[in-house]
Structure formats: C-alpha cells, structure tokens
Amino acid sequence: MTFIDTPFASADAYVDFLSAQDVPVLRRTVQEFGTLAASDSTGGRQVAAVVIADPLMTLKVLTTLQARRGPKQNHDITTIERAIMMMGVTPFFAIFSGLGTVEERLAAHPQALVGVLGTIGRARRAAHLARDWAILRHDLDVDEITVAALLKDAVEIMCWTFAPAMTQRVFEMQRANRWLRRADAQRAVFGVTAHEIQAGLVRAWKLPELLVTLMDADQAGNPRVRNVLLANAVARHLQSGWDNDALPDDIAELSELVHLSPELLLARLGAPAEELHRFFPPAT
C-alpha cells in the first residue's frame, strides 16, 4: 500500500496524489451493505442511512456519481438519497462491490486507525448538530447541510488514511502544545495546510458547487455556511471536553444564528450542569 511519508512540494502535489486514490470505507459500511443487498425489501432510504454514517462512503458516492454524469443530467445531485435514486438500488450495490476498508488499510498503523475513527466520529457529530440546527432555522434542504458538515473535514480523514505517520505527528504537536494552531502544525509537518489541500481537492473531485460553497469558510456571511462551520467547530471543541475555551464563543454565535437562548442551546446539547457557569458572565 502506498502512503505519503515525506512532505510533497506543494498543495497541488497532495491534490494530485489524493484525488487518484481509491477511497476506502468503514468495515461496518461494507458489512451493512452485504446485509441490505441480500434483502429484497431494501429501499433507497435504508441505503442512504448507511452511506451518510460514513463520510468516506458519502464522498465515494458523490464523486462516483459526478464521474458517471451523463450529458442529460443538467443539475447537481447534492444529497445521498437523491444520488441513490439516480443510480437505483440494485445498480448501486453492483457499482460499489469489493470495497476496500480503512481498517484493512491501516492494519499496520493502529494509532492512525484510532485517529481516523475519532475524526470520523467527530464528522458524524458535526453532521448531526448541523442537521438539528438547520431544522431550527427552517432551512430549505437540511440534507444538503448534513452532507456538507459531514464532509467539511474530509481532507483530515484522507490524511489519516494516506499519510498516517505525518498526521500522527501533527496530532502529537498539538497534544504537546494546546495553544498551537492546527494549521500551523499541519504546515510544519506537511508544508501546507489541510484547508489548502481541500480547496484543490473539492475541485479535483468535482463535488457539486453548492456543497463546495457550504464548506467554504470564506462564505461565512451566508447563514447556511455558518451553520456548517459552527457545527464542525463545536464538534471539534467538544472532543477535548466541555471546558474547551472556545465553546462559550461558539454558543454565543450559535444563539444568534438559530435564535435560541444559550440556556436552551446548552440543554439541547446536553451540557453538564457543572460547566454551565462558564457560559454566563457573573451577575454584577
């Protein structure tokens, strides 16, 4: 198996390498597909639920659909359920047979496997949060928000998968220095940041323009984009616990976005009672 062990010369070099790889998926996804494919009653919604639980499989479905796009398809498919409807359930299982798994690929890199599974778990949490907040905002299409939040950190997942040793060094640098910005650690190890790689990869993957926009921090003035960005920020900050210093600012910004009080938001998020004082200034 080919891994990136030393830095490439540019973000474009990483894009060229990563966009040429056959993306593996979670072992659980393969197992659940086997069960669904064997049933005569499987519908598109059931398949979509398995796909959306796995950011790598979600990415694989969208990029495959774009690569197979015919001249008569004059609009982008931006949700997984629509993508499966476009393919058909039976052809879907034929297209996605013999999938490689992340667990197989990282069998010799157990720390990286833990890292990628943790990042995938965070992406799922971000997607769940983004969907919940999109519903609160009465968004026109919560499924689009869900997919964008799930894929926002796709490059970090890809780096764990294809550059495990280098990504582990980034993680260790941040663990040793909690004040070190993730982008600075990435630049020190990779020579570029994940954001710079992702900017090129979403184009190379030919992801739908709407999803690219929803993941673009430069478009944060758009409430739908802020929904996605905040979900990913909160999911990331919660990884280190409710005492993360950035969470009060996240909650204040989220309160403005969804027009819900910080008290109700914290209750909705299941914040522990002993941490609530951090989110409210002392009375004077």
Is 139 inside a domain boundary? yes
Is 8 inside a domain boundary? no
Q: Are 79 and 108 in contact (CB under 8 A)?
A: no
Is 250 inside a domain boundary? yes
Assess whether 115 and 234 both reside in one domain.
yes
Q: How many residues does the chain have?
A: 284
Write down which residue in 102, 125, 157 finishes a domain: 102
Close Cβ partners of 90 (under 8 Å, ≥ 6 residues apart): none
Is 145 inside a domain boundary? yes
Q: What is the pLDDT of residues 132-146, one digit of tens each?
A: 999 999 999 999 999
Is 13 inside a domain boundary? no
Write down which residue in 50, 72, 102 finishes a domain: 102
pLDDT at 69: 72
Tokens 């998926």 -> residue: 25
The HSE-up count of residue 30 (CA atoms within 13 Å, CB side) is 12
Q: Are 206 and 73 in contact (CB under 8 A)?
A: no
Listed as ranges, residues in the chain with pLDDT below 50 are: none
Assess whether 243 and 117 both reside in one domain.
yes
In the chain the first and final C-alpha atoms are separated, in Å, by: 62
Is 48 inside a domain boundary? yes
Assess whether 137 and 188 both reside in one domain.
yes
pLDDT at 167: 97
Percent of the chain with pLDDT over 90: 86
How far is 257 from 267, CA to CA, in rounded Å? 17
Assess whether 201 and 252 both reside in one domain.
yes
Assess whether 150 and 241 both reside in one domain.
yes
Assess whether 222 and 256 both reside in one domain.
yes
Assess whether 163 and 220 both reside in one domain.
yes
pLDDT at 77: 86
Write down which residue in 48, 72, 102 finishes a domain: 102
Q: How many domains does the chain have?
A: 2
Is 269 inside a domain boundary? yes
Which CATH number do you get for residue 231? 1.10.3210.10
pLDDT at 59: 96
Is 159 inside a domain boundary? yes
- The residue range of the domain holding 45 is 24-102
Q: Is 7 helix (H, G, I), strand (E, B) or coil?
A: coil
Assess whether 243 and 218 both reside in one domain.
yes
pLDDT at 74: 61
Q: Are 201 and 155 in contact (CB under 8 A)?
A: yes
Assess whether 46 and 130 both reside in one domain.
no
Q: Can you name the residues that pair with 101 across neighbouring β-strands? A: 25
| CA proximity to 14, closest of 216, 207, 171, 201 | 201
Assess whether 83 and 145 both reside in one domain.
no
Dihedral class, residue 280 (left if φ above 0, else alpha if ψ from -120 to 50, else beta): beta
| CA proximity to 112, closest of 70, 65, 167 | 167
pLDDT at 179: 84
| DSSP label at residue 79 | S
Residue 130: phi, psi to the nearest 5? Answer: -60, -40
| DSSP label at residue 6 | S
* Per-residue exposure over 14-35, b if at least 16 CB sit within 10 Å of its own CB, e if not: bbebbbeeebbbbeebbebbee
Q: Give the pair of three-digit tokens for residue 57.
A: 């499989």
pLDDT at 85: 92
Assess whether 151 and 235 both reside in one domain.
yes
| DSSP label at residue 284 | -
Assess whether 146 and 90 both reside in one domain.
no
H/E stretch holding 64? helix 55-67
